[in-house]
Amino acid sequence: MKISVVGTGYVGLVSGTCFAETGVNVACVDIDQKKIDNLNNGIIPIYEPGLEDIYKKNVEKGRLEFTTNLAESIKDADSVFIAVGTPPDEDGSADLKYVLGVAREIGKSMDHYLVVVTKSTVPVGTSMKVKQAISEELEKRGENIPFDVASNPEFLKEGSAVADFLKPDRIVIGTESKQAQKVMKRLYKPFLLNGHPILFMDITSSEMTKYAANSMLATKISFINDIANLCEIVGADVDNVRKGIGSDARIGNKFIYPGTGYGGSCFPKDVQALIRTADEHNYSLEILKAVESVNYRQKEVLFTKLNKRFNGDLKGKKFAMWGLAFKPKTDDMREAPSLVIIERLLNAGASVVAYDPVAMEEANRILGDKISYAKDEYEALIDADALILVTEWSEFRLPNFRVLEKLLNNKIIFDGRNIYDPEELEELGFEYYAIGRSKN
């Protein structure tokens, strides 16, 4: 089989590479010439565990290629996947200009039957807009080439994107066409040998499924953060509460870890976009509105604790920050809580020395010399007034506290992910502030 994947970001690059791994010939397309040049020269633009190996292998085998030429990429293809970005528009709704722009390009150049699959996260009704855009372009050309559209939302997680794509919990396909179903079944069969299902449904439900899934996950995070804040007030420990509720199979123990709020390229924009969709239909999604406002508040929690500890006098103080990415195992910093904390600290006249195992380059691109970058986690601590842990990379879990003690000006830790043991730190003489744990 042969496919084209348009958009070579986290989703497009991982999807294209993983499809190639099953023997499919894949052309990955992007408008960013530099990205394509890099990919043609062995340079991968993102960090994603396991990606480099299968990328190299499939390029060598001649099954994976990179181009800016969309028209060329869809010649002889069975299917084309649209995996470009859908950033929030000014009013929070998903901006569809990239998706519909690609649909028009497809309509301008397709010359045989194609299944056009929307993999980007798009609001209800978008696949029909994709269909219309292609039809309009074909009409302009006076052509009547058959095609089908399908919605195929992607559920991979940054940080484990390759593993998630190769062994998905489920594949969701929305399409009205039997022929499109057949093509999708064939393409996805190799990924479903683990027994997990391919769920065919109508397009509207498929588009809605992706937003409902991300909104549910964001809801779990805001829920536990809200409970964590109350735990602190009443003197409970949210980690005990989390274990207490998570052992109930109806609740489950995943995604109920308190922290500094959700970030990344998906949850914030998808929650916002679903609220907008509901608003446009004169329905108010009250729960999601609360999820969003709890999250805004949560991104401030660590700074508020720190500001209180230093009596509102942060001018001239220096803070070490461990972790910049919005979560471990990724270099993605979109909507990362670290950015909010850094902004508050800088506005208060403090300085920040940060270390992140993979997101330093990305941080430098966004923040430049507003902060300093350390070569390792210990260097960041030298003469700092406190350590702020924002991203729970595994290498931060068991640091040498004796070294911390020597390097820091004060034995103070603000732990935004509750990864340290309060009793151990108390015994070692550290002042320890965490999220939703008593004694904070």
Ligand X SMILES: NC(=O)c1ccc[n+]([C@@H]2O[C@H](COP(=O)([O-])OP(=O)(O)OC[C@H]3O[C@@H](n4cnc5c(N)ncnc54)[C@H](O)[C@@H]3O)[C@@H](O)[C@H]2O)c1
Tell which one of 3, 4, 5, 12 touches ligand X (CB under 6 A). Answer: 12
Q: Does 266 bind ligand X (CB under 6 A)?
A: yes
7 is a site residue for ligand X (CB under 6 A): yes
> How many CA atoms within 13 Å lie on the side-chain side of 419?
21
Q: Which of 18, 28, 231, 266 is an active site residue?
A: 266
Distance CA 153, CA 145 (A): 25
Question: Which of 195, 156, 153, 166 has its CA nearest to residue 21?
Answer: 166
At 41, give phi and psi (nearest 5°). Answer: -110, 20
Residue 12 or 168 having the CB closest to ligand X: 12
- Hey, what amino acid is at 407? L
Please, what is the Cα angle at 383 between 378 and 385, to 5 degrees? 100
Residues of the chain by 3-state class (helix, strand, coil), percent to 5: 45, 15, 40
Is 327 annotated to bind a ligand? Reply is yes
Q: How far apart are CA 40 and CA 29, in angstroms?
A: 12
25, 86, 260, 272: which one binds ligand X (CB under 6 A): 86
182 marked as part of a ligand binding site: no
Cα separation, 298 vs 307, in Å, equals 15
Q: Which lies closer to ligand X via its Cβ, residue 211 or residue 432?
A: 211
Size of the site for ligand X (CB under 6 A): 26
Of the residues 85, 107, 168, 328, which one makes contact with ligand X according to CB under 6 A: 85
Q: Please identify which residue in 3, 4, 5, 6 interacts with ligand X, judged by CB under 6 A.
A: 6
The piece of 31-39, 180-188, 289-297, 344-352 that touches ligand X (CB under 6 A) is: 31-39
Residue of 1, 2, 31, 72 interacting with ligand X (CB under 6 A): 31
| Annotated binding-site residue? 30 | yes
Q: Is residue 126 at the binding interface for ligand X, with CB under 6 A as the rule?
A: no
* Site for ligand X contains 36 (CB under 6 A): no
Nearest residue to 138 (alpha-carbon basis) of 112, 175, 177, 99? 112
Closest to ligand X by CB, 26 or 381:
26
> Can residue 166 be called a binding residue for ligand X (CB under 6 A)?
no
6 vs 336, beta carbon nearer ligand X: 6
Residue 264 known to bind ligand: no
x/- letters, 133..162, toward ligand X (CB under 6 A) = ---------------------x-x-x----
Tell me how far apart the alpha carbons of residues 3 and 22 are, in angstroms, rounded to a whole number: 12
What three-state secondary structure class fits 362? helix
Q: Among residues 3, 4, 8, 130, which is the contact residue for ligand X, using CB under 6 A? A: 8
Which of these segments, 30-38, 56-64, 106-114, 413-421, binds ligand X (CB under 6 A)?
Answer: 30-38
Asked if 110 contacts 131 with a C-beta cutoff of 8 angstroms, the reply is: no
34 annotated to bind ligand:
no
Residue number, 13 or 291, with CB nearest to ligand X: 13
Considering the complex, state which of residue 295 and residue 440 has its C-beta at the smaller distance from ligand X.
295
* H or E element, residue 100: helix 97-109
Q: Is 268 helix (H, G, I), strand (E, B) or coil?
A: helix
- What angle, 0 to 180 degrees and rounded to 10, lies between the N-to-C axes of helices 267-280 and 286-309? 140
* Least distance between ligand X and beta carbon 250 (Å): 27
Confirm or deny that 258 is annotated as ligand binding: yes
DSSP run (H or E) holding 2: strand 2-6
Selected range binding ligand X among 83-91, 364-372, 405-413, 429-437, rule: CB under 6 A: 83-91
Could you write out the DSSP letters of every residue in 186-227? HHHGGGGTTS--EEEE-HHHHHHHHHHHHHHHHHHHHHHHHH
Annotated binding residue 210: yes
Count of alpha carbons within 13 angstroms of residue 229, beta-carbon side:
17
CB of 121 to ligand X, least distance (A): 4
Q: Mask: binding to ligand X, 104-123, rule CB under 6 A, as x and -? A: ----------------xx--
Q: Applying CB under 6 A, does 102 fall inside the site for ligand X?
A: yes
Closest separation in Å from C-beta 395 to ligand X: 23
Q: Does the annotation count 266 as an active-site position?
A: yes
Burial 31-53 (b: 16+ CB within 10 A, else e): beeebbeebeeeebbbbbebbee
Task: List active site positions.
Answer: 266
Binding-site ranges for ligand X (CB under 6 A): 6-12, 29-32, 35, 83-86, 98, 101-102, 120-121, 154, 156, 158, 265-266
